[in-house]
Amino acid sequence: MTRTTYYTAATLDGFLADEHDSLDWLFKQHIDEAGPMAYGPFIAGIGALVMGATTYAWIRAHHVDRGEAWPYPMPTWVLTHRDPAPVEGADIRFARGDVRPVHAAMVAAAGGKDLWVVGGGDLAADFAEAGLLDELCVQLAPVTLGAGRPLLPRPFDLRLTEVARNGDFACVRYDVGGPYRGD
């Protein structure tokens, strides 16, 4: 059964990036790539991924525009209302609107592997509201920013399934329930 996971790092106060889309707060942290919830074993199980337009622009600016290859060999959906340039040699598919057909296409393309919701937070919330997000896996960095791009800006009930320390990070994993109703 294909699982859909929102896997990301965040600040303790729940931001993916600062207001200027900087990840400087993240790259100064230490993580053990052989430790719990590390990226290597996670990405090995992923068959397709999805991200929003800002995240796509960030990866382009920090990898592709610096002469590096697009980092993901698996099909990548980018949700956007605009018409951004594709990346040569990368399997990137642009879509907009309802995430349900996107999810169905990702499952079909993933060859039985799992799906990664890269972010941002509104996109992950769209998947969760549609009942299409199984899991939230966050590496919490020991820093607060006070403002920035939110991790998950809508209310959901979660069930804690794993807690681990990896280097500077508190790594937490949750099953995603339905919308939080306060009762």
Ligand X SMILES: NC(=O)c1ccc[n+]([C@@H]2O[C@H](COP(=O)([O-])OP(=O)(O)OC[C@H]3O[C@@H](n4cnc5c(N)ncnc54)[C@H](OP(=O)(O)O)[C@@H]3O)[C@@H](O)[C@H]2O)c1
Are the C-beta atoms of 124 and 150 separated by less than 8 Å? no
- Strands 135-141 and 15-17, by their bridges, are unpaired
Least Cβ distance, residue 88 to ligand X (angstroms) = 21
Task: Report the C-alpha gap between 64 and 148 in whole angstroms.
Answer: 24
Least Cβ distance, residue 5 to ligand X (angstroms) = 13
Four-residue CA torsion sign, 96, 117, 23, 121: positive
- Tokens 């339905």 sit at which residue? 178
Question: Which CB, 130 or 160, lies closer to ligand X?
Answer: 130
Interacting residues with ligand X (CB under 6 A)? 8-10, 16-17, 21, 23, 26, 51-55, 58, 79-82, 96-97, 99, 118-121, 123, 126, 149
Question: Which CB, 1 or 39, lies closer to ligand X?
Answer: 39
Helix (H, G, I), strand (E, B) or coil at 1: coil
Closest CA to 15 of 116, 131, 138, 109: 138
Question: Which CB, 109 or 143, lies closer to ligand X?
Answer: 143
Question: Which CB, 101 or 179, lies closer to ligand X?
Answer: 101
Least Cβ distance, residue 38 to ligand X (angstroms) = 13
Least Cβ distance, residue 67 to ligand X (angstroms) = 19
